[in-house]
Amino acid sequence: MSPKLLNILLIVTSVVLYIYVISPIYSGGDSIFFEQGQDIKGLIDTRNSHDKVIEIIPSIIKQANDLKVKYESIAPEDREKILTMVPVSVNEIKLMSEIVNIAAESGVPIEDMGIRDKGGEYTVSFVVNTTYSNFKKIITYWENNRRLFTLQSVNFSPGKTEEDNIEFKISFSTYYMK
């Protein structure tokens, strides 16, 4: 091969290499060798986003340590009470049993109970047929229960006479950590 041909071949190879490889890497354009985002600009953007995350890591670690210190300052008895109020997870059968036990303690039977999970919150609804004084009694039992209950709604249908029971439709929420 002649030296002139070799020089021309090297120049043509350099130009082709620049057009199809080097220029797309720096400009972010399309290349037959690299996918979109694998250029220098994409790598710089990725590095910058990682640098931002790295910058906030010390503050996150400090916040985690502060929360750990606060958590450890809570007495074990109080931690147990908190986990009773808002447990880590809820077994639906156990929740239903707890609600029925509260009703049994107050002497008011529950009918048509339904439970629906909303992710971190259970919505419980049921019907009780009782007098107003017994209804107040069952509400008092829920107020004094360790589990956190939020009364959502109470609908009632009075009886035809004063001696008839009132039908109360109750809906409340109880919570768990997710």
Task: Give the pLDDT score at 36.
Answer: 62
How far apart CA 150 and CA 172 sit, in angstroms, is 5
Cα distance between residue 98 and residue 174, in whole Å = 12
- Residues in contact with 153: Cβ distance below 8 Å, sequence separation at least 6, in sequence order: 169, 170, 171
Reported as a single tens digit per residue, the pLDDT across 15-48 is 888 877 777 766 666 666 666 656 677 778 888 9
Q: State the Cα angle at 23 between 19 and 26, rounded to 5°.
A: 170
Give the other-Cβ count within 10 Å of 138's Cβ.
20
With bands split at pLDDT 50, 70 and 90, how would you rate the model's confidence at 102? confident
Closest CA to 118 of 178, 51, 38: 178
Encoding tokens for residue 42? 């994409």
Per-domain residue ranges for the chain?
3-71, 84-175
- The answer as to CATH 3.30.70.60 being correct for domain 84-175 is yes
Tens-digit pLDDT profile for residues 77-91: 888 888 777 777 777
Which of the four pLDDT bands, split at 50, 70 and 90, describes residue 130?
A: confident
- pLDDT beyond 70 at 153: yes
pTM of the model: 0.55
CA distance 57 to 69: 18
Share of the chain above pLDDT 90, in %: 20
Q: What is the mean pLDDT of the chain?
A: 83
Under a CB-based contact definition with an 8 Å cutoff, are residues 145 and 110 in contact? no
